[in-house]
């Protein structure tokens, strides 16, 4: 697992209060991890803070799964 993936998963576990095993790369924030649209706004803010990247709204809207988040962050670093 990449270092980005580790850090993303840790943030997801902390913010959504879900078990670490559930946070697979294919997991959908809304369908599998119980997030709502505001939780995703909060997650995106946490990713920006953690990785020092800007995630504009149009990009944030396309982040649906854990893998989407990891890939976006990796592409900006």
Of residues 13-72, which lie at the interface with another protein (CB under 8 A)?
15-17, 34, 38-39, 41-42, 45, 49
Query: For another protein, which stretch binds (CB under 8 A), given 2-10, 11-19, 20-28, 67-75?
Result: 11-19
Provide the total of helices (H) and of strands (E) in the chain, helices listed first.
Answer: 4, 0
Q: CA nearest 27: which of 75, 76, 68?
A: 68
- Please identify, using beta-carbon distances, which residue of 2 and 52 lies nearer to another protein: 52
Query: Least separation, in Å, of the C-beta of 2 and another protein?
Result: 26
Our answer to whether residue 58 is catalytic in this structure is no
Sign of CA dihedral 19, 67, 29, 69: positive
Minimum CB separation of residue 60 from another protein in Å reads 11
Partnered with residue 28 across adjacent β-strands are 65
Nearer to another protein, 2 or 14 (CB): 14
Handedness of CA 14, 15, 21, 23 (dihedral sign): negative
């Amino acid at each position: 697992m990449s270092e980005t993936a580790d850090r993303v998963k840790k943030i997801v576990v902390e913010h959504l209060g879900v078990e670490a095993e559930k946070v697979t790369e294919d997991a959908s924030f809304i369908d599998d991890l119980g997030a709502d649209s505001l939780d995703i706004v909060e997650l995106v803010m946490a990713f920006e803070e953690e990785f020092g990247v800007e995630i504009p709204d149009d990009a944030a809207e396309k982040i649906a799964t854990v893998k989407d988040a990891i890939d976006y962050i990796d592409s900006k670093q």
